[in-house]
Amino acid sequence: MEDPTSRFVVVFDTDDINIRDDVAPTMLKTLGYTPEHYYPRLGVAIVTGAADSDFKVLTTHASENDLPVHVLPETTYYAITDSFTDTDEATWGLQAVKAIDSPYTGKGIKVAVLDTGFNADHPDFRGRKVTSASFVPGEGPEDGHGHGTHCVGTAMGPRARGENSRGYGVAPEAEIYVGKVLGADGSGSDSTILAGIDWALENGCQVISMSLGADVRTVHPPYVTAGKRALEQGAVIIAAAGNNAHRSIGDPGFVGAPANSPYVMAVGAVDSDMKIADFSAQAINAEGGEVDIAGPGVDVHSSWISPENYKTISGTSMATPHVSGIAALTAEATGARGQELWDKIVAGATSIGLPKQDAGAGLVTAPAAKQASTQSWVITVADDRTDDLASIADELRAAGVTVTRTLPNLGMIHGCTSTECTPDELVKVAGVTSASVEVSHRAL
């Protein structure tokens, strides 16, 4: 998929390298363009400084000087992504979002799934604490539909293979909050959904997952207010973009409510080949209605109500809890909340070459392990110990220093430690008189 940048590629159509090398950059600068990169061996320049239409002057001038050129917008290219498939160990969705590689589990993060309820007797959730409430008149929090149990499973079910199933949950140690806002028939109203959001905020949930929506093109004001106030209170509302597209027949659909609120993170769905799902709604509204991010949403295996206990289904509803689970991992990894958490989720997405109006920032991706921060030191030994550098280096290693170089003529040792180490700790090593943080130098 082409993805143009704001720069242009100028190709000089001549076989004379010397002409290209001497004349081409000068001509570009004279005409007001900025050659950011010039490759004389290729006869190619990457330039900025003009709109597409302005290059008519360049092409005309170049032709008059026997140096014909082609000009075209610079294009961004992407790695050809592999397709994913369910294995005995994990669903394709867990693999695609890299949850199985993440050291984070969502521990300490409260995630509310507002849906059709939850099958609390599911064998994969034995021993897990579930806080639940129903806002549907005449119905308890138990799931009489299955949709809610499926979403809870994807967001917070087991990540590792169990006795009965492959792993399918993104954040297996997140705290489960279930608000039943849709009845057994799979439908609900503004009053039940807003009550669920209010309840989730009252309980301090940092992530609110809503795999629900209405095919309403206009932005619905209650969810603008609710989304904004949730962010202010340290929570992110994540909602399904909608399944009203029929792309195979040319209908891109549109993002409905509540996902079309600019303060609700809207989730599109991709398949295991990293292509946009046929049903996944496309952003069309000028204000609000954007797709912010994408998640696995086709043939998603997760928990279900009894007696089946498991089911494989599709929808932007299935993509949403993948994003909500990653939100929990990101919150755990970074400590971010509210708008900062939103920003980190989007920034952590992986580009998969799909248009922004389909997949937003790209495929939601789990945070990886933090790289240990290190500090480099120049360590000076006592004058009477310069002949003992080797033994002092060994003592430094025992104290946790990675010794990278000894300088016997100077009586110094170069090494690295974690950033938590202080000079005083290094001076405690026998024979060491001082330790200075290494300074970077540059040519003057």
In a domain? residue 31: yes
Does residue 21 or residue 309 have the better pLDDT? 309
Rg (C-alpha) for the chain, rounded Å, is 29
Tokens of 339: 């708008």
User: Which pLDDT score, from 0 to 100, does residue 372 have?
Assistant: 58
User: Which pLDDT score, from 0 to 100, does residue 50 have?
Assistant: 60
220 is catalytic: no
Contact 153, 322 (CB under 8 A): no
Catalytic residue selected from 115, 143, 271, 292: 115
pLDDT above 90: percentage of residues in the chain: 68
Instruction: Say what the pTM is.
Output: 0.69
Please write the tens of the pLDDT for every residue from 184-234: 999 999 999 999 999 999 999 999 999 999 998 888 888 999 999 999 999
Whether residues 100 and 216 fall in one domain: yes
Number of domains in the chain: 3
Whether residues 246 and 132 fall in one domain: yes
CA angle 422, 333, 235 (to 5 degrees): 130
- Domain end point (choices 324, 359, 394): 359
- For residue 321, the tally of other CB atoms under 10 A from its CB is 37
Q: What's the rounded Cα separation, in Å, for the pair 118 and 303?
A: 10
Whether residues 343 and 194 fall in one domain: yes
Confidence of residue 2 (pLDDT cuts 50, 70, 90): very low
Whether residues 230 and 352 fall in one domain: yes
Q: Mean per-residue pLDDT for 360-388?
A: 87
Question: Is the four-CA dihedral 57, 63, 68, 70 of positive or negative sign?
Answer: positive
Whether residues 52 and 134 fall in one domain: no
In a domain? residue 367: no
In a domain? residue 364: no
Tokens of 210: 């809503």
**Domain that includes residue 50, residue range:** 3-76
User: Which pLDDT score, from 0 to 100, does residue 78 have?
Assistant: 46
Whether residues 96 and 52 fall in one domain: no
Q: Mean per-residue pLDDT for 141-146?
A: 97
Tokens of 424: 């005083």
Whether residues 20 and 128 fall in one domain: no
Look at residue 3 and tell me whether its pLDDT is greater than 90.
no
Q: What's the rounded Cα separation, in Å, for the pair 120 and 159?
A: 18
Does residue 289 or residue 143 have the better pLDDT? 143
Whether residues 328 and 201 fall in one domain: yes
Tokens of 178: 């279930």
Q: What's the rounded Cα separation, in Å, for the pair 181 and 159?
A: 26
User: Which pLDDT score, from 0 to 100, does residue 364 have?
Assistant: 98
CA dihedral of residues 347, 280, 201, 186 (deg, nearest 10): -160
Please write the tens of the pLDDT for every residue from 74-98: 765 544 445 688 888 999 999 999 9
User: Which pLDDT score, from 0 to 100, does residue 48 have?
Assistant: 81
In a domain? residue 366: no
SS (HEC) of 91-129:
CHHHHHCCHHHCCCCCCCCEEEEEECCECCCCHHHCCCC
- Domain end point (choices 41, 76, 111): 76
Catalytic residue selected from 102, 132, 134, 147: 147
Catalytic residue selected from 317, 322, 324, 358: 317
Q: What's the rounded Cα separation, in Å, for the pair 41 and 28?
A: 17
Whether residues 52 and 157 fall in one domain: no
Q: Which residue has tokens 């996944």?
A: 280
Tokens of 253: 């659909």
Q: Mean per-residue pLDDT for 392-408?
A: 91
Contact 389, 431 (CB under 8 A): no
CA angle 260, 265, 269 (to 5 degrees): 85
Whether residues 341 and 232 fall in one domain: yes
Please write the tens of the pLDDT for every residue from 352-373: 999 999 999 999 999 987 655 6
Q: CATH number of the domain that 378 lies in?
A: 3.30.70
147 is catalytic: yes
Q: Which residue has tokens 């909340």?
A: 337
Question: Is the four-CA dihedral 176, 346, 263, 336 of positive or negative sign?
Answer: positive
Whether residues 150 and 218 fall in one domain: yes
414 is catalytic: no
In a domain? residue 387: yes
CA angle 151, 148, 172 (to 5 degrees): 40
User: Which pLDDT score, from 0 to 100, does residue 1 have?
Assistant: 35
Look at residue 52 and tell me whether its pLDDT is greater than 60.
no
Average pLDDT, the chain: 88
Q: Mean per-residue pLDDT for 146-157?
A: 98
Please write the tens of the pLDDT for every residue from 10-42: 777 666 555 556 677 777 787 778 878 777 766
User: Which pLDDT score, from 0 to 100, does residue 79 have?
Assistant: 41
Q: CATH number of the domain that 50 lies in?
A: 3.30.70.240
Look at residue 413 and tell me whether its pLDDT is greater than 50.
yes
Smallest CA-to-CA distance from 363 within 95, 55, 36, 57 is with: 95
Whether residues 410 and 311 fall in one domain: no
Does residue 385 or residue 442 have the better pLDDT? 385
CA angle 237, 241, 246 (to 5 degrees): 170
In a domain? residue 183: yes
User: Which pLDDT score, from 0 to 100, does residue 86 have?
Assistant: 85
